[in-house]
């Protein structure tokens, strides 16, 4: 039996991401051009959808590098919010574009229902929709295959994003084909398809924008993750209890602030060692991208729950 193949996970993930990056860039340009030349609002909207993927990749490539800069006197918690702020701005832009395309499509549908004749989409728009579906389906299978080989959940998730783009292009294809071949009265299918694609764009904006807004507003970490963190804190030897737990995100980093309670008879050095052990256990469990601030205080018999979290406000 042959030994399993080994891959450089980071190198493969980057290569796959770059393939998707340039494919989305090419598709965005070709779709928008084909939509303009082929008089298809649906194809222009689909091109903007591909452009949203391209822009998202740019955020990852450019701003992740900035966000990973070390903390300094002006940015004592690091530069993580740069990526967050950029993502929020892009999300707002995409949401605006989605609403604009939806409004334009609805307006053209309204005019059509009141006797206005829409132009027949050109063959170039139809051909581009078919090419887009083919490329996106290939990209989906390519990305998923490598994601499964290197056991990367993020790469596999990106593959399914490509599949959603393929479905968007399929809706565009239906709208364009109907507008071209079913007669004048059915040309309304093109703006309807543009409206459908605008919904896809808005969903993308919502998915990338909402977490960014929550982070900028310093919303706490999700409850299920918080309880896992509590379990690690409470299970660290020497911790008799903990309270005043607060959390937030800063780019890729999690910021944790809390108090631990220790035996009042131990030395300051021993208390410090317990706090250090808590930090080590948290980073070992959840990764090194954590900023942890721990205050040590004496345990005076306060009631705690099964995780050693203080159940009363003290």
Q: Which of 73-82, 97-106, 132-141, 221-230 is the least confident region?
A: 73-82
Asked if pLDDT for residue 154 goes beyond 70, the answer is: no
Over residues 257-308, the pLDDT tens digits come to 999 999 999 999 999 999 999 999 999 999 887 889 999 999 998 899 988 9
CATH architecture of 223-298: 2-Layer Sandwich (3.30)
Record: fold of 9-216? Alpha-lytic protease prodomain-like (1.20.1510)
Report whether 306 contacts 290 (CB < 8 A): no
Over residues 250-267, the pLDDT tens digits come to 876 789 999 999 999 999
Query: What is the predicted pLDDT for the residue at 101?
Result: 76
Over residues 189-239, the pLDDT tens digits come to 777 877 887 887 788 778 778 888 888 888 889 999 999 999 999 999 999
Report the number of secondary-structure helices (H) and strands (E) in the chain.
Answer: 9, 3
Report whether 256 contacts 282 (CB < 8 A): yes
Report whether 310 contacts 241 (CB < 8 A): yes
> Where in the chain are the domains?
9-216, 223-298
Q: Residue 7 — pLDDT band, cuts 50, 70, 90?
A: low
Half-sphere exposure of 174 (CA within 13 A, CB side): 11
Query: What is the predicted pLDDT for the residue at 182?
Result: 80
Asked whether the domain spanning 223-298 has the same topology as the one spanning 9-216, the reply is: no
Give the Cα separation of 294 and 300 in Å (integer): 18
Half-sphere exposure of 176 (CA within 13 A, CB side): 29
Token representation of residue 202: 């808005």
Query: What is the predicted pLDDT for the residue at 24?
Result: 84
Give the Cα separation of 24 and 87 in Å (integer): 18
């Amino acid at each position: 039996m042959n030994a399993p193949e080994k891959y450089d996970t980071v190198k493969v993930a980057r290569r796959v991401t770059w393939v998707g990056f340039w494919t989305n860039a090419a598709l965005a340009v070709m779709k928008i051009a084909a939509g303009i030349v082929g008089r298809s609002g649906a194809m222009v909207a689909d091109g903007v959808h591909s452009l949203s993927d391209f822009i998202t990749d740019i955020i990852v490539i450019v701003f992740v590098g900035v966000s990973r800069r070390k903390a300094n006197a002006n940015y004592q918690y690091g530069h993580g919010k740069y990526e967050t702020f950029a993502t929020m701005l892009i999300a707002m832009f995409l949401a605006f574009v989605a609403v604009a395309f939806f409004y334009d499509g609805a307006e053209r549908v309204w005019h059509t229902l009141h006797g206005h004749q829409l132009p027949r989409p050109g063959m170039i728009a139809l051909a581009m929709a078919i090419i887009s579906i083919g490329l996106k389906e290939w990209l989906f299978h390519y990305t998923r295959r490598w994601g499964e080989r290197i056991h990367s959940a993020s790469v596999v998730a990106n593959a399914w994003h490509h599949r959603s783009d393929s479905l968007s292009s399929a809706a565009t294809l239906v709208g364009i084909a109907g507008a071209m071949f079913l007669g004048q009265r059915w040309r309304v299918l093109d703006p309807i398809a543009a409206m459908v694609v605008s919904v896809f764009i808005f969903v993308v904006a919502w998915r990338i924008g909402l977490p960014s807004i929550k982070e900028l507003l310093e919303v706490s970490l999700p409850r299920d993750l918080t309880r896992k963190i509590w379990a690690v804190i409470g299970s660290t030897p020497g911790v008799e209890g903990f309270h005043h737990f607060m959390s937030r995100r800063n780019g890729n980093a999690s910021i944790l602030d809390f108090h631990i309670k220790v035996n009042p008879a131990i030395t300051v050095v021993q208390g410090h060692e317990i706090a250090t052990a808590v930090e080590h256990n948290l980073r070992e469990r959840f990764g090194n991208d954590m900023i942890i601030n721990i205050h040590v205080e004496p345990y005076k018999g306060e009631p705690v729950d099964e995780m050693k979290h203080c159940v009363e406000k003290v």
